[in-house]
A and B are shown apart, each in its own frame.
Chain A
Amino acid sequence: MKILVLAKQVPDTDKVKIDPLTGTMIREGLDAVINPLDLHALELALCLKETHRAQITVLSMGPMSTEMVLRDTLALGADRAILLSDSAFAGSDTWATSYTLSEAVKKLNIEYDLVICGEKATDGETGQVGVEFAVLLNLPVITYVSRFVSLQNDSIVVERTVEDAYETWKVRLPALISVLRSVSEPRLPTLSGKKMSLSKKVEIYNARDLGLKNNDLGLTGSPTRVVKVYNTKLSRNCQLYMGKDLNQGIQEVVKILKNYKGSVRR
């Protein structure tokens, strides 16, 4: 079995700061790490490697610093790591990213039975690349996978979480699944894994290697335009009821909740 994991590098922070003038994320001084949800995707692949002798390829697009992040995936047990890096790719929206990744898969003949990616990245939070990548390669997609149930010959069974229910799906391979945290618990790299990763090569390809035209790539190839980025302000409305009767107070709270815009009515 061959598994392709799509991974993105993101800043190693839990507090994303936005430059108020440019509206872009401030990445200065922040180390890069693999997107946390992609790590859960990789862990699922590693579990399948242990149980079904799968071969794992990790594919990413990003600046050259992504090489270190991909090396970490090799340390954890991935067999092959591929980085697409070129200034022509800079400024890609989800469409251009998906296009570049899917073209790389075709041009480099990357084999796969199952593609796994995190449901979204912590920086952009669009959750679109996995789905668009699957469309471009004509693959069935299951999003929001919260549990991997089984692998059966040419198909997989997974559980996905929707707003108020779980759904169980069986899908024929090849297919793409985008996963949530609950799908796996990422392992820590071992010393031997780290040492081994230092001797392995991360394969790096640019636009010319892939035979791609600049018009389809990066900012030029991106139909999305970010017009404005702004911080939302959370405002809270605190109302204080003073009284001696607790039940009366509770009734007041219930009344407010019932009338609150967006509350669930049954």
Chain B
Amino acid sequence: MREMIIEKLKSIVGQENIKTDYDELERYSKDETSSVEPSVPIAVVFVNNAEQVSDILKLANQYKIPVTPRGAGTGLSGGAIPKKDGIVLSLEKMNHILELDLENMAVVVEPGVITDEIQKLAEENGFFYAGDPASSESSSIGGNVAENAGGVKVLKYGPTAFHVLGLEVVLPTGEIVNFGGKMMKNVMGYDMIRLFIGSEGTLGVVTKIILRLIPKPKYSAVLLTPFGDMETAVSCVPKVLCESGILPTSIELMDRYSVEISSKFLNDNIPQQGVDCHLIFEIEALDKESLTRAYISLGEKLQQMGALEVYIADNRHQKMKIWKFRKAIAEGIIAFRPKHCMEDVGVPIKAIPALIRSTYDIARENGVEVLNFGHVGDGNVHVTFLKPETMNEEQWENSMHRSLEKLYHITANLGGTMTGEHGVGIKRKDYLNIFLTQTEIQLMKKIKQAIDPNNILNPNKIFPDRI
């Protein structure tokens, strides 16, 4: 059976586009999620167009083979981890920018294009693609769509969904459908684009994406503000947003341990290293004068609210000097604390202080360590539990589970979400019913069943095994 399936796949994509060696398969058995077990598929198939995707999904339906679509494999929920008896459908080779349509302020791309390449092309032409996940150097746009990726600019520009105008999708049953186009407004029937975005590769395989471009913001400044205590820092976030009259592009938090770990990774120090936390604000303006007025106004407010100092970066080099500390946190955690659990909870901004406060209590109660960083401006915090060196694996598994459960209950009570941008995937599916009712989960499952009756497309994701 297995050999027969592989032969049929070869006839669709050609021998050169299928891998079955264990060493190759092992690479596709995991993504960048640390706390989920890898799972080796029977084959990895590299597709070049929507028709090949369609033929593969029809074959998968005929023989009931689980298919897991995969972009660059940078996901943080285990969404690209295949089933053992399934195949990985890699979209890496569909990596072409098909059209740059400046008159319509749109770009048409295949899913395997690395997000930064879109950004570079847009910038070269005086435009801007506002989707900017932290992984933009390595993640693919198809993955960004599948997870509705966020990033550091969501506060002002919104997540990936805000920038998608149209999609070509191959349904799990093999039909190719198109929704949307290069127009801004479209209320023709259900919003199918938003249904596919963030569906974690369970409802269809996206094969073409139309993205919206906007004029490139000309001037920006980054404010780095150290704070003596976390409570003062996070309390000022909602105040700044409500009272300053300025909507920053980003408000990012780095607690002391986050800064320590990224500094170690970069072998560099941030100003006022060792304080309780740092906040980073980025603001934009049309001209230098209004930018100066804005950063003075915002900086003075932050000083009044307890910032120990306000550092201003208004050129590229200085801005990079600040942002590199924020961007290196995740890499630092992977390098120095490989046994960790990076979370992605989101709460209404007013509840941020309560959420952060609770994480230290949870860590203390369960004997684990914790660090907090992330997009506090939009309420999305990457609470990260770390295994203490002295703790054994079994204890860690139990403590991590207890910590997560507590964190999720607190987040739910604060009116929040389990995941703001990383997705449910395998990693979080068993906790979904903390946040959603049985009816709500059943509604989602009915949609899945209607579109994928044989449950072949990325099964075993999102929904808990038991409701």
A and B are interacting partners: yes
Interface residues of A (CB under 8 A from B): 12-14, 31, 33, 36, 68, 72, 75, 187-191, 194-195, 198
Interface 1/0s, chain B 258-301, versus A by CB < 8 A?
00000000000001000000000000000010001001100110
Kindly state whether residue B426 has any CB partner on chain A within 8 Å: no
State the Cβ distance, A42 to closest chain B Cβ, in Å: 13
Name A194's contact: one of B288, B296, B316 (CB within 8 Å). Answer: B296
Interface residues of B (CB under 8 A from A): 223-224, 271, 288, 292, 295-296, 299-300, 303, 309-313, 315-318, 321-322
Q: With CB as the reference atom, state the residue of chain A lying closest to B310.
A: A191
Of the candidates B224, B271, B311, the one having the most CB atoms from chain A within 10 angstroms of its own CB is B311
Q: Is the CB–CB distance between A195 and B317 below 8 Å?
A: no
Q: How many A-B residue pairs have CB under 8 A?
A: 47
**Given A187-B271, A189-B312: A33 in contact with B321 (beta carbons within 8 A):** no
**Given A194-B296, A198-B292: A188 in contact with B315 (beta carbons within 8 A):** no
Name A188's contact: one of B271, B300, B303 (CB within 8 Å). Answer: B271
Give the complex CA separation of A75 and B314 in angstroms.
12
Chain A residues with CB under 8 Å of B313's CB are 188-189
**Given A12-B316, A33-B316: A188 in contact with B224 (beta carbons within 8 A):** yes
Q: With CB as the reference atom, state the residue of chain B lying closest to A32.
A: B315
Chain B residues with CB under 8 Å of A72's CB are 315
Q: With CB as the reference atom, state the residue of chain A lying closest to B307.
A: A191
Q: Which 5 A-B pairs have the closest CB atoms?
A: A191-B299, A191-B310, A188-B311, A33-B315, A12-B316
**Given A68-B288, A187-B271, A190-B310: A12 in contact with B300 (beta carbons within 8 A):** no
Give the complex CA separation of A188 and B317 in angstroms.
10
Chain B residues with CB under 8 Å of A190's CB are 309-312
Chain B residues with CB under 8 Å of A33's CB are 315-317
Give the complex CA separation of A33 and B303 in angstroms.
27
**Given A12-B317, A33-B316, A36-B317: A189 in contact with B311 (beta carbons within 8 A):** yes
Q: With CB as the reference atom, state the residue of chain B lying closest to A188.
A: B311
Chain B residues with CB under 8 Å of A191's CB are 223, 295-296, 299-300, 303, 309-312
24 residue pairs A–B, Cβ–Cβ below 8 Å: A12-B316, A14-B316, A31-B315, A31-B316, A33-B315, A33-B316, A33-B317, A72-B315, A75-B312, A187-B271, A188-B224, A188-B271, A189-B311, A189-B313, A190-B312, A191-B296, A191-B299, A191-B310, A191-B311, A191-B312, A194-B295, A194-B312, A195-B296, A198-B292
Give the complex CA separation of A31 and B318 in angstroms.
13
Given A190-B311, A191-B310; 11 other pairs, CB 8 A cutoff: A12-B317, A13-B316, A33-B315, A33-B317, A188-B224, A188-B321, A189-B311, A190-B309, A190-B310, A190-B312, A194-B296
State the Cβ distance, A181 to closest chain B Cβ, in Å: 12
Chain A residues with CB under 8 Å of B223's CB are 191
Of the candidates B223, B292, B317, B321, the one having the most CB atoms from chain A within 10 angstroms of its own CB is B317
State the Cβ distance, A65 to closest chain B Cβ, in Å: 11
Q: Is the CB–CB distance between A12 and B315 below 8 Å?
A: yes
**Given A194-B312, A198-B292: A188 in contact with B318 (beta carbons within 8 A):** yes
Chain A residues with CB under 8 Å of B321's CB are 188
Q: With CB as the reference atom, state the residue of chain A lying closest to B271.
A: A188
State the Cβ distance, A70 to closest chain B Cβ, in Å: 14
Chain A residues with CB under 8 Å of B309's CB are 190-191
State the Cβ distance, A50 to closest chain B Cβ, in Å: 15
Chain A residues with CB under 8 Å of B312's CB are 75, 188-191, 194
State the Cβ distance, B338 to closest chain A Cβ, in Å: 30
Q: With CB as the reference atom, state the residue of chain B lying closest to A189.
A: B312
State the Cβ distance, B293 to closest chain A Cβ, in Å: 10
Give the complex CA separation of A12 and B317 in angstroms.
8
Give the complex CA separation of A165 and B309 in angstroms.
41
State the Cβ distance, B342 to closest chain A Cβ, in Å: 28
Chain A residues with CB under 8 Å of B318's CB are 188-189
Give the complex CA separation of A23 and B82 in angstroms.
54
Give the complex CA separation of A189 and B299 in angstroms.
12
Give the complex CA separation of A75 and B221 in angstroms.
15
Chain B residues with CB under 8 Å of A75's CB are 312
Chain A residues with CB under 8 Å of B315's CB are 12, 31, 33, 72
State the Cβ distance, B277 to closest chain A Cβ, in Å: 17
Chain B residues with CB under 8 Å of A195's CB are 296
Chain B residues with CB under 8 Å of A189's CB are 311-313, 318
Give the complex CA separation of A33 and B315 in angstroms.
7
State the Cβ distance, A218 to closest chain B Cβ, in Å: 28
State the Cβ distance, B272 to closest chain A Cβ, in Å: 11
Chain A residues with CB under 8 Å of B271's CB are 187-188
Give the complex CA separation of A15 and B360 in angstroms.
44
State the Cβ distance, B79 to closest chain A Cβ, in Å: 34
Give the complex CA separation of A36 and B321 in angstroms.
13
Chain B residues with CB under 8 Å of A14's CB are 316
Give the complex CA separation of A33 and B316 in angstroms.
9
Give the complex CA separation of A33 and B309 in angstroms.
24
State the Cβ distance, A67 to closest chain B Cβ, in Å: 12
State the Cβ distance, A98 to closest chain B Cβ, in Å: 26
Give the complex CA separation of A72 and B314 in angstroms.
10
Give the complex CA separation of A227 and B322 in angstroms.
41
Give the complex CA separation of A182 and B455 in angstroms.
59
State the Cβ distance, A44 to closest chain B Cβ, in Å: 17
State the Cβ distance, B25 to closest chain A Cβ, in Å: 24
Give the complex CA separation of A68 and B289 in angstroms.
11
Of the candidates A12, A33, A68, A194, the one having the most CB atoms from chain B within 10 angstroms of its own CB is A194
Give the complex CA separation of A92 and B243 in angstroms.
51
Q: With CB as the reference atom, state the residue of chain A lying closest to B269.
A: A185
Give the complex CA separation of A75 and B303 in angstroms.
18
Give the complex CA separation of A233 and B310 in angstroms.
45
Q: With CB as the reference atom, state the residue of chain B lying closest to A14.
A: B316
Give the complex CA separation of A187 and B269 in angstroms.
11
State the Cβ distance, A7 to closest chain B Cβ, in Å: 14
Chain A residues with CB under 8 Å of B311's CB are 188-191
State the Cβ distance, A241 to closest chain B Cβ, in Å: 21
State the Cβ distance, B317 to closest chain A Cβ, in Å: 6
Q: With CB as the reference atom, state the residue of chain A lying closest to B309.
A: A190
Chain B residues with CB under 8 Å of A188's CB are 224, 271, 311-313, 318, 321-322
Give the complex CA separation of A244 and B88 in angstroms.
32
Q: With CB as the reference atom, state the residue of chain A lying closest to B268.
A: A185
Give the complex CA separation of A187 and B303 in angstroms.
19
Chain A residues with CB under 8 Å of B322's CB are 188
Q: With CB as the reference atom, state the residue of chain A lying closest to B316.
A: A12
Chain B residues with CB under 8 Å of A68's CB are 288
Give the complex CA separation of A191 and B303 in angstroms.
10
